[in-house]
Every structure is written in structure tokens, then in C-alpha cells.
Amino acid sequence: MTLTVWLYTLLCVGLTINIYRPVLRHPRAMVYSFFAGWFAGELALQLTLIQMLLTVVLIFSHSFAGIMGMVALVALLANWLALLRYYYQGRALGPQLDSNLKKGLGNNYRQEINSDLASGLQLEPDFMTELNPFRRNRGGVTVTSDVAYGHEGLTLDIYRPSITLHRPAPVLMHVHGGAWMYGDKVGQALPLMLHLARLGWVCCSVAYRLSPRATHPDHITDCKAALTWIKANIADHGGDANFIAVTGGSAGGHLTALLALTANDPAFQQGFEDADTSVQAAVPFYGVFDWTDRDQLQHNSGLRQILERTIVKDTTLAQPDIFSHASPLLRIHEHAPPFMIVHGDRDSLVPIGLGRKFAKALTEVSEAPVVYSEIPGAQHAFDIFASPRSEHVKLAVARFLTTCYSRYLNQISG
């Protein structure tokens, strides 16, 4: 057996081990582990098929000769079984997500959904969508890009149904992630926004200033400025300014939760202090809910270094109030809007314990519904493209938001 085959076998097995046991303790290795686990995990079926094809080619070239070749083939077979197990774990996620929704919204939540809104909701993902995970089906959706929202030269993109809307549509505002330093409004949450737009929602993906040029609270101030523009102008695009939900992942999850919990806080909306910045629902994905790390849940010092050196540009010891006020975990109150918190239990970058802590604290205090969905096997950013996990979660988020909107409609009509 050749060295190339050994290296190939070790690579295949190593990718699968990393899916199940990602690196957590070393800041730099953690990032590499995340990227490898993210792609390999969410593309487990495709990866299995590719590895099988390559292995067949190598077998016909007599690369798996001798006892060691047989050992390598057995290792690859075990590896494929582990990948397929991971894949089917994602395929079986639907009942768990529905149970989470029932726990947070009530056992009869589906019966509360407006009949006009319920017809388009799905319970099971489309298998063909999962097979072609990077395809962006924009059918039935009109996209208006780079709409200026009148703050620091920033813009947002609007996704709306192509059909004529006969009544104002509920609105979703999306805040992208990227450690408050990277990313843009184009590349994230597209599966969710396109899906909701086809269901009759108007979705806005907003840009905000990025560090190191930006310093906290610039990021949250920009998001609140975008929300203010949306409330004032979304009716021109068919949206209902009276029902706006907000979502985002990672840094965007932090900003989503912070925005939802700090409505009308003048410290975060300087220059438009009198604007109404309340929202009607929030769906943070794997958010950084505590900048103080008071419970020492972070795996290593990587996040603290980013926050102190690049985002806040000061230390936790020197400015404890800044870090506390920026932490959604420490801003929880009884009048919070409905929340659906989504977090993967294999997240390398943001510890699952933080999601659990935030969900528990919010449930204990908030008078509104709180849904906590812990996704088995999911890495950070698992929802960026179509996969069994991301598609199931997309459909569950749509049911959560539609339930919240139906309750809003019932409230204003009754």
C-alpha cells in the first residue's frame, strides 16, 4: 500500500473524528477545526459519496494491496458509517424541533397559526434541496440591493415576494455574523430569507460598520438605525412596520439578542434617541450572549482577546460596565419579546453552555415565550447552506415566526 493511500485514509478518518470531537482549547486550532467540521459535517452525505468514488478508483489501481490495505479499507468503511450516522442524525431532527416549539409555544401552537399563513408551512425538508446545498433558488422572490438607510453610508438588501401583496407583510430583519469584523449582508441566512419571502414575508439584510475601524457600540447603533429606517419605510416595500422580527448568527446573534433586549436604550441609539427600536420577536443563532464570561464558559482566551483588542479597544478590568451592558445575558427583563434560541452542541467557536445559560435565564424572567433548540452534532454556522440540520431548523424558525405573527394578528383583531 502506498503512502498516498495512507495519507488519504488518515485525512478521511481525521475529518470525521473532528466532526464528532472538534478542537476547543487552542484558539488558532479551534478555528481550523471549525471550518473543517462545518463543511465536512453539513456535507456528510456528499463527502461520503466522494470518498467512496475515490476509494473505488484507488482499488482498481491496486493501491490497497496487502494486509495494511485491508486495514485501510476497514477504517474507511467505519468512517463512512460514522458520516452516514451523522447525516441521518440531521435527517431525524424534525420531531425534536417540533417538541421544542411545543415546549416554548404550547402543545397546540400549530392550531393558533392563521389559516392563510399555515398553508405554505412545511414540516419536512426537500431532499433535492439538500443534495444541491449551494443552489440559491430565488424563484418567486424579488431582491432590491444596496438600499441606503441614511446612517453612516450603510445599506440593506430587501427580499420580498414577487407577487403583489394584498396586505402588509410581516418583516424579518437579518444581522450578519463575522466576529464583528468580517462578513457582509449578502452571504448569510439566504436559505431562511428566501424561504420566508416565498411565504409572504419581507426580509431585510442589513450592513453595519466593522471593526477594527468600528468600536462598540457602533455595531449595535448601526443595527438600531437600520431598524428605525425599516419602521419608517418598509411599508413602501409591502412590509408591516408594526411586526418586525430580528435574526442573526454568531456576532449577528449577539446583536440580535442585544437589540431585542435594549429597546429604546438611548446609549445605543445616539442621534435618534426618541426612535422606537422595539421588535416583536427574536431568533439569535449561536450568539455570544455574555462578553464578561463571568461563568467561565469560554473554551479559551480567543474571544476575550478579540473583544478587548479590536471591538471595545479596552480591557474588561478597565471597563467592566461596557462589557456588562453589551452582554444580552445581563440585559434580560420580563418584557422581552418572544425568543427562539438556536445553538449547535458541537460549536467550536461559541460554547453550547452559553446558549443553555441564556435560554434558561430568559425563560425564568421573560413573560413572553422562549423556545430553545439545541441542535445535535451542529457546528457553528451550520445554517449557512442547505443541509439536513439547516433545512429542518429553517422550517422550524418559519413556524415559530408565523406563530408569533398569528398571535399578533389575533391580538390586534380581537
Evaluate whether residue 100 is within a structural domain.
Answer: no
Higher pLDDT, 27 or 239: 239
Evaluate whether residue 176 is within a structural domain.
Answer: yes
Mean pLDDT of the chain: 94
Are both 330 and 380 inside the same structural domain? yes
Quote the percentage of the chain above a pLDDT of 70.
100
Mean pLDDT of 348-360: 96
pLDDT given at position 2: 74
Are both 131 and 22 inside the same structural domain? no
pLDDT given at position 414: 66
Are both 285 and 224 inside the same structural domain? yes
Residue ranges making up the domain that contains 78:
3-91
Helix H or strand E encompassing 13: helix 3-20
Are both 248 and 284 inside the same structural domain? yes
Evaluate whether residue 99 is within a structural domain.
Answer: no
Strand partners, 147: 156
Are both 87 and 112 inside the same structural domain? no
Are both 53 and 125 inside the same structural domain? no
On the question of pLDDT at 162 being above 80, the answer is yes
Number of independent structural domains in the chain: 2
CA–CA distance, 11 with 7 (Å, rounded to integer): 6
Check: pTM over 0.85? Answer yes or no.
Answer: yes
Are both 366 and 248 inside the same structural domain? yes
Which residue in 33, 205, 211, 250 is the catalytic one? 250
Q: pLDDT confidence of 203, banded at 50, 70, 90? A: very high
Which residue in 343, 347, 383, 392 is the catalytic one? 347
Evaluate whether residue 143 is within a structural domain.
Answer: yes
Domain boundary among 46, 65, 91: 91
Catalytic site residue 250?
yes
Catalytic site residue 314?
no
Are both 71 and 125 inside the same structural domain? no
Are both 199 and 256 inside the same structural domain? yes
Tell me, what CATH number does 193's domain have? 3.40.50.1820
Coil/strand/helix, residue 244: strand
Higher pLDDT, 55 or 64: 55
Evaluate whether residue 101 is within a structural domain.
Answer: no
Catalytic site residue 347?
yes
Q: pLDDT confidence of 76, banded at 50, 70, 90? A: very high
Domain boundary among 29, 61, 91: 91
Which residue in 237, 254, 343, 380 is the catalytic one? 380
Q: pLDDT confidence of 125, banded at 50, 70, 90? A: confident
Coil/strand/helix, residue 204: strand
